[in-house]
Amino acid sequence: MGPCWCLVSAVLLALEPPSGAPSSPDNTGDVAEEPVGGAGVSPIEIIPKIEVRESYVRLDSGAPVHDTVAEIDIQFLRRLLLRYEVPYQIVGTPSGQVSGIGDIQLTALGILMSTSDRVVAVILGVVLDTATQPPLGSGKQQIVFGAGGGIKPRPFWIAYGVLQEQISVAGSSARPDVNQLQAQLGSILFGKQYNWIRLELDPLVDFSKAEGQLFGTLEVGSLLIGRVGLFVRAGTQLLGQRQIDYSLIGGIRYLFRLEKGRPQP
């Protein structure tokens, strides 16, 4: 389903319970050392975190792809998030399994506008051709740019959308060109105990192959102990030239903190 995981949803999600409790009155963004029942966490906060996720994707050809992705999000200037993603892949090929480091992705997200119930952000990133073996790479070096936004019409519901272009700009001629337009349309429902369920549709237009696909994903997760959360995600391809039978992803996420107030300029 492509290397793009919705940055805006990560900012919106932040494991926020639907308590409806107000932000801190002085908007100073006080830090809650541990989540406390009934203490609201703003859905518009950038929350630095470390995440490790394991995925299994079965391609339409029957070939399996295993990914282990280590991700770290670092916050700068209260409205800027830098994300580093390093994948380790095991890919089945006709000649046997190939394993090693895949293409490293660096992404920056900047919040342009945010209120207590909505956010608009821009996305800029690069995909580096760092794969140790050709089958592990996604193409030539690429730049990623786009924008997204979200709205919280109810204390327990967030809806969001992202539009992103991914295009190759340099790299080895042995690697394929990349020119993809990706969209993400999602809805998140929160429970009362720091848990959530997320439904997402991911249309993709691949201009280099002149084809399009539509993927669907369902995720459930919960903040279990302190600032440690677990999530499970399942997806499949709904429309288009068949590439993926199904995908299964499980992960663990550690939040460096939980913010109470909105980010300040």
Taking the domains of the chain in order of start, what are their residue ranges?
Answer: 7-259
Kind and range of the H or E run holding 54:
strand 49-59
Q: Is pLDDT at 136 greater than 90 in this prediction?
A: no
Q: Could you read off the pLDDT of 150-207 as tens digits, one per residue?
A: 888 887 888 999 999 999 987 777 788 889 999 999 998 888 777 889 999 999 999 9
**Confidence (pLDDT) at 258:** 58
Per-chain mean pLDDT for the chain: 79
| Beta carbons of 40 and 46 less than 8 angstroms apart | no
Q: Is pLDDT at 140 greater than 80 in this prediction?
A: yes
Q: Is pLDDT at 11 greater than 60 in this prediction?
A: no
Which of 104-113, 164-173, 234-243 has the lowest average pLDDT? 164-173
Angle at 198 between CA 178 and CA 19, to 5 degrees: 135
Averaged pLDDT, 119-141 = 87
Give the global pTM: 0.79
- What CATH architecture applies to the domain 7-259? Beta Barrel (2.40)
DSSP code per residue over 142-186: EEEEEEEEEEEEETTEEEEEEEEEEEEEE--TTSPP-EEEEEEEE
